[in-house]
Amino acid sequence: MSDEYVYDEESGEWLPASEIAARKTTVVRDAAGNELADGDQVVLVKDLKVKGAGQTLKQGTVIRSIRLTDNPEEIDCRHDMIKGLVLRTEFVRKR
């Protein structure tokens, strides 16, 4: 069982890579503080003008099957009219 070791700058020690990865898991939260996960449904909490689409998504619009991104403040999602939609988590609430 050979585990790769990584230098942890916070502690100044060499630690197993699996331990470092476990520490860096981030929790993505919506506007109400609920934890979000891949595949969740969310509802918009305010009207949003979508740049480049010339369209406004209204408050209460349901967005299905979200995907988390590397940025804990953004989620990828699909809407019927808009492809490649990225929303800020501060504007959505888990359904």
The tens digit of pLDDT for each residue in 31-75 reads: 999 999 999 999 999 999 988 888 899 999 999 999 998 888 999
Distance separating alpha carbons of residues 65 and 63, to the nearest angstrom:
7
Distance separating alpha carbons of residues 58 and 45, to the nearest angstrom:
9
The more confident residue out of 32 and 16 is 32
| Strand 48-50 to 55-57 pairing | antiparallel
Helix (H) or strand (E) holding 23: helix 17-23
What are the structural domains of the chain?
A: 26-94 (2.30.30.40)
Given this model, what pLDDT does residue 87 score?
94
